[in-house]
Amino acid sequence: MGTAFWKLSAVELAEGIRRRDFSSSEVLTSVLGRIRAENPRLNAITVDCSEDAMQDAERADAAIRRGESLGALHGVPVTIKENADQRGKATPNGIPAFAQLIAPDDSPIVANLRRAGAIIVGRTNVPEFSMRATTDNPLRGRTVNPWREDVSPGGSSGGAGAAAAAGFGPIHHGNDIGGSLRFPSFACGVATVKPTQGRVPAFNPTATGERGILAQLMSVQGAICREVRDVRLATRVMAHGDPRDPWWVPAPFDWPNEPRSAIALTRATHGYPMHPDIDAALTRAADCLRDAGYVVDEVDTPSILEPAQGWFDVAVYEIKMTLDAIARQHGSATVQNIFGWYYTLGNLVDADGYRAGIADRTRMTRAWSVFLARYPLVLSPFLMRPTFPWNYDAESEANVHDLFRSAIYSVGVNYLGLPAGVVPAGYAAELPAGVQLIGRRFREDLILDAMEAVEARLGVMAHAMWEA
């Protein structure tokens, strides 16, 4: 029986391929075997790129034999979310009407991954318009959480989260406008960082127009991985600049070493009844961080409810103005209902309120920036409840309200434009549960350091699933 390369991290695979301990073709054969065995049950990967991937692996092995200079992910398998352009592939975003929307070129993240030597094995599932906290659509169907069939894998990068946990390669692209990297990481027991806006370049050649200004300010590209070290490696690779994104910032990713950061711990629920297992996960993560040498103080932070309310009032107004018509034209009855319930999450502003809300967002971000000058990291809940049933948000307006009120630490962080990571920290109601670490702008490195400290003490959660 061959080595189970599909279980290895991206760091281990890249080093092993570079040292010629094994070949990219051997790695890919192992990963594709795992996909063929488990993906029919999970439906995480919706587009099979294995034929092209095998040719890419052979070219990667030939480059090794020729002694060529190698990229950081040479020969390492990755997946791409189906809302990002990949040359020659469709970008349907979960919509049957867009099933033949073929990308003429790669988006920046795909170009950066390819340039680093990564091999794309497939494209992962999304909900319609990538605008649900679960993953199901009329074109590709439903993605199943590898931990339990009846619960959500998260969304909108649910295919990526399920693929990461199931062992379909070590790195899985996703993106995040309200929690779409972090919901799947929480639900599937894997790790991610939502980078600072401007860290990773973004652009889709299939786009026919520009997104709303808040979408541009809040939406970011990132990676979901089983191991934190792979999140670091993938984010560093994807962060290379691309002239098609004029708002990309050439900020350093690897900053000089400095003493362990002081961490502020918040348990403020702002009226939501936080599940005791989530509270216990916060305590567990704080203990891990203290053991690693961090000072963790339980203190009051600036309000997260206020920026979350900004997301509900102002950002949802923009969603209604920019997406509602196309959702009514091309969306299913399910997503149309959910969009209608989104519009009742807050008190939607009008055009004047929209302009004022965007201006006031700066005040909120300034308050957090001043706080983060004293505490460079904040340990917070991500979701204040356990992972929810797979179709929870489609069942009622009350469920949508419950889900998003439990997720104020998710949408609030997007509204502020701050980076934040989710790392597994135990279980809630016997399902994986993570905690969130919020950081200063462009200090993803500090977030990743703290996430690694938690992971080092609690282990890689997906490994526990495989061994069960």
Residues with catalytic function: 81, 156, 180
Q: CA-to-CA distance for 222 and 244, rounded, in angstroms? A: 17
Q: Could you give the 3-state DSSP secondary structure of residue 175?
A: strand
Q: What is the β-pairing status of strands 377-381 and 262-265? A: parallel
The tokens for 222 are: 């990132």
Pair of tokens at residue 251: 């900020």
Q: How many CA within 13 A on the CB side of residue 140?
A: 35
Element (H, E) at 439: strand 431-439
Distance of CA 205 to the CA centre of its chain: 22
Distance CA 321, CA 41 (A): 37
Q: For the chain, how many helices (H) and strands (E)?
A: 18, 13
Whether 67 and 57 have beta carbons less than 8 Å apart is answered as no
State the Rg of the chain over Cα. 21
* Residue 279, number of CB atoms within 10 A of its CB: 15
* Joined tokens for residue 268: 């403020």
